[in-house]
Amino acid sequence: MRTTSRINTILSFPLFWIGLISILTFIVYYPALHGAFTNWDDMVYVKENPYIKTISAANLKAIFSTNFMGNYHPLTMISLAIDYQISKLNPFGFHLTNLLLHILNSILVLLVIRKLTGNLLIGAFAGLIFGVHAFHVESVAWISERKDVLYACFYLLTLLSYLEFTGKSGPKWYLLSLFIFLLACLSKGQAVTLGVTLVLVDIFLGRKWASLKVIIEKLPFLIIAFVFGVVAIKAQAGADATIMANFPIQQRFAFASYGLVMYVLKLLVPFSLSAYYPYPIISDIGEVPLIYWLCIIPVIVLFVVWIFSYKQSKPIFFGIGFFLVNIVFLLQLLPVGRAIMADRYVYIPSIGYCFLIGWYLNDHKYINSSRIALLIIIPYIALLGFLTFQRSQVWKNSIILWSDVLEKNSQVTIAWYNRGNLCMDSADYHGAISDYTECLNVDNKYWKAYINRGNAKNELKNHIGAIEDFNAVLRLDSSSLRAYVNRAMSFQKLLDYNNSLKDFNKAISLKPEQVEIYTSRANLKFEMKDYQGAISDLTEGLRLNPKYVVGYLNRAIIKKNTKDFKGAIEDYNKAIELDPKNSDLINNRGNLKFQIGDTSSALKDYSESIRISPEQYLGYKNRGALKFSLEKFDEAFADYTIAIRLNPSSGELHYNMALLKQKKNDQLGTASEYKKAVELDPIYASDEFRH
């Protein structure tokens, strides 16, 4: 009896449950902390995101005034910016923030449900299930889903503040809940459902939710929700996320029903979780598979149970209602996104499920003691925790992630495409072509796969095959800028300058303001020895963007080839003025000055390049060559020695050192350096280099 009493005493302490939730959640999500950035939005949200690199007034203004990746979520962007200032490009810091937010959310679930029901164990069980549930791995382990865990934190804090207000704690809690709700909406548009959730709270608490006073309370929430709802829809539309518009309304209901049924089943037991759930393959006559239509039946039953529970059972009405209210806009009835469902969509809605489990485990009509409740929930928590630990490892890197998706469903085009991109990044061009081909076998209109497969073929010198892929893109879209530019480059590799020029001309006619196309066409004209045409293109590009450093560099190189040394140096001066820390530019200018005999200025450039980049060998090599020409052999020897230390595999450097030692009458040293030069690059064994 004493043991039972002690257990009951421990179970009555909120801090015990808060500690248990925190520890268990941290353990089961621990593998997620060691995940890398994925090539699914993480690169855009973090690595390539200009708004998070510095926390400045200009960046804050841009964050609050623009949509990003089809979303308006300025607070999410700010949170990523804070992480970036601390962690830079170390993914651990971003993952840690996500996990800490999820742990906090799990604790808030406990506190909210405890406040709502007046029962600690209901909140504790709900918080535990929420914390360790495998359905939440995507929201926590995926850095790009920071918006999920962040908006959920503000969402739950809003509920907690509102419950304090309804407990007669004064209007300050109402104002606080309204303010925090605004923060939730600024974190993710999905927060707009909270206005309706508050009505469910009122009904559960027995408040007269239809009274004028309570309705007026809700108006500010509903107004904010409406505004941010419109913003969210426009942001999604601007990102071309509304591809569902092509499906008839009856098919949308079938898809929505399937998604809802799968969410419920995966909440009970999170099986076959995937980062991507594609729409079904529609038959040639437009028929949706039968299973999707059959799912309408349990959905109707669920809604009937919910409606009838209004007068029969407040817990059922609240729990199911919480789930439905927060999931309904994500069921593809309103066309948002490119998948039929997503694990992340159920992050907040799952609280309704967690509430129901917690409630009925503590309902003495069914379970008459806390011990029995613990005997039920402990193995369930253990199962969920095990599945979460396993699922977290899937997010270790992009290869594992997309391979897991393809194991679940080989018809996911984006999985083949993204895995192909990973192969491209690692120079596995054969692997990339294989994955892009599988992508196109699933969807022969996936134009990005043609583009990237063409690029991979170019890397393997299969330029004709690449052109065939770019042709396929143009058959799908005759105005594809990337296809024309890439095909032009393939023709250029084949020395088919006429067709290359035609494609560059077409690309410029499609987008005459894109500077990079003028640069590419200038490179082509340079190969064609049309130097004036190349200079003309680069000049036009610089007119469009006077700060385009590459334009000045390329024009300088062409002017050098046309013996316009003065003009070339002027272009180098402009490039260096724009990028004064670019040691390569300064080195190149030094080479040009050396070529025209301005050795003193060349020496200054080489020394400046060494000061800026002392780890780069070129500055030492070039300065050594200059001093060698001035017969300052000891100084040249010092520079060549450093250059060889920085780049010991350069045959050219060892050959130059051999010439230098020959000048210093070091015959053994000359022979040794020459031998190394030949070993590293056999070209130095030819008669041309023997002295």
The domain spanning residue 457 has which CATH number? 1.25.40.10
Q: Is residue 83 part of a domain?
A: yes
Q: Which of 21-35, 239-253, 334-348 has the lowest mean pLDDT?
A: 239-253
Burial 46-81 (b: 16+ CB within 10 A, else e): beebebbeeeeeebbeebeeebbebbbbbbbbbbbb
The amino acid at residue 509 is: S
- Is the model's pLDDT at 239 over the cut of 60? no
Which of 606, 645, 612 shows the shortest CA–CA distance to 628? Answer: 606
- Is the model's pLDDT at 129 over the cut of 90? yes
Q: Is residue 571 part of a domain?
A: no
- Is the model's pLDDT at 242 over the cut of 50? no
The amino acid at residue 52 is: I
Q: What is the pLDDT of residue 614?
A: 93
- Asked if 384 and 416 sit in the same domain, the reply is no
Residue that the structure tokens 């001035």 belong to: 630
Q: What is the pLDDT of residue 244?
A: 45
- Asked if 173 and 107 sit in the same domain, the reply is yes
Q: Which of 285-289, 308-312, 550-554 has the lowest mean pLDDT?
A: 285-289
pLDDT tens for 518-527 read 999 999 999 9
Neighbours of 115 (CB within 10 A): 16
Q: Is residue 293 part of a domain?
A: yes
What letter would DSSP give residue 208? -
- Asked if 264 and 169 sit in the same domain, the reply is yes
Q: How confident is the model at residue 482 (pLDDT cuts 50, 70, 90)?
A: very high
Q: What are phi and psi of 248, to 5 degrees?
A: -60, 155
Residues in a beta bridge with 277: 341
**350 and 135 Cβ atoms separated by less than 8 Å:** yes
3-class SS at 581?
coil
Which of 369, 366, 142, 176 shows the shortest CA–CA distance to 275? Answer: 142
- Is the model's pLDDT at 457 over the cut of 70? yes
Which of 293, 302, 360, 292 shows the shortest CA–CA distance to 327? Answer: 302
- Is the model's pLDDT at 137 over the cut of 90? yes
- Asked if 390 and 414 sit in the same domain, the reply is no
Question: What percentage of the chain exceeds 90 in pLDDT?
Answer: 73
Q: Is residue 279 part of a domain?
A: yes
Q: Give me the half-sphere count of Cα atoms (radius 13 Å) on the Cβ side of residue 286.
A: 5
C-alpha distances (whole Å) from 375 to each of 43, 356, 516 are 45, 17, 66
pLDDT tens for 615-646 read 999 999 999 999 999 999 999 999 999 999 99
Q: Which has more pLDDT, 395 or 371? A: 395
- Asked if 347 and 459 sit in the same domain, the reply is no
3-state DSSP of 57-120? HHHHHHHHHCCECCECCHHHHHHHHHHHHHHCCCHHHHHHHHHHHHHHHHHHHHHHHHHHHCCH
CA angle 280, 281, 285 (to 5 degrees): 125
Average the pLDDT over 576-581 and give the result. Answer: 94
- Asked if 159 and 307 sit in the same domain, the reply is yes
Q: What is the pLDDT of residue 287?
A: 83
The amino acid at residue 27 is: I
Question: What percentage of the chain exceeds 70 in pLDDT?
Answer: 94
Radius of gyration of the chain (CA): 33
Mean pLDDT of the chain: 90
Q: What is the pLDDT of residue 11?
A: 65
pLDDT tens for 45-93 read 998 888 998 898 988 988 898 888 888 899 999 999 999 999 999 999 9
Long-range pairs for 377-383: beta carbons < 8 A, 24 or more residues apart? 377/125, 377/128, 377/129, 380/129, 381/24, 381/128, 381/129, 381/132, 383/269
- Is the model's pLDDT at 7 over the cut of 60? no
- Asked if 137 and 285 sit in the same domain, the reply is yes
**75 and 55 Cβ atoms separated by less than 8 Å:** no
pLDDT tens for 410-456 read 999 999 999 999 999 999 999 999 999 999 999 999 999 999 999 99
The domain boundary residue, chosen from 495, 513, 541: 495
Tokens for 418, please give them.
Answer: 């993204």
Tokens for 480, please give them.
Answer: 């594809």
Average the pLDDT over 508-513 and give the result. Answer: 95
- Asked if 477 and 341 sit in the same domain, the reply is no
The domain boundary residue, chosen from 495, 525, 549: 495
The domain boundary residue, chosen from 495, 519, 535: 495
- Asked if 465 and 318 sit in the same domain, the reply is no
Average the pLDDT over 232-253 and give the result. Answer: 68
Q: Containing H/E element for 195?
A: helix 194-205
Q: How confident is the model at residue 682 (pLDDT cuts 50, 70, 90)?
A: confident
Q: Is residue 30 part of a domain?
A: yes
Q: Is residue 620 part of a domain?
A: no
- Is the model's pLDDT at 238 over the cut of 90? no
**486 and 454 Cβ atoms separated by less than 8 Å:** yes
- Asked if 294 and 419 sit in the same domain, the reply is no
Domain range holding 661? 650-691
- Asked if 148 and 184 sit in the same domain, the reply is yes
- How many residues are present in the chain? 691
What letter would DSSP give residue 279? P
Tokens for 84, please give them.
Answer: 């970036």
pLDDT tens for 197-237 read 999 999 999 888 778 888 888 899 999 988 988 888 777 76
Number of domains in the chain: 3
Q: Which residues contact 121 (CB under 8 A, 6 or more apart)?
A: 11, 358, 361, 362, 370, 373
Q: Is residue 641 part of a domain?
A: no
Which of 356, 357, 334 shows the shortest CA–CA distance to 345? Answer: 334
Alpha helix ranges (H) inside 362-462: 370-394, 398-408, 413-425, 429-442, 447-459
End-to-end CA distance of the chain: 101
C-alpha distances (whole Å) from 556 to each of 101, 259, 535 are 53, 60, 9
Q: Which residues contact 557 (CB under 8 A, 6 or more apart)?
A: 568
Q: What is the pLDDT of residue 336?
A: 65
- Is the model's pLDDT at 156 over the cut of 90? yes
Q: What is the pLDDT of residue 683?
A: 86
Helical axes 497-510 vs 481-493, angle rounded to 10°: 160
- Asked if 273 and 347 sit in the same domain, the reply is yes
Q: Is residue 642 part of a domain?
A: no
Report the distance separating Cα 484 and Cα 508, nearest Å.
Answer: 10
Report the distance separating Cα 366 and Cα 360, nearest Å.
Answer: 7
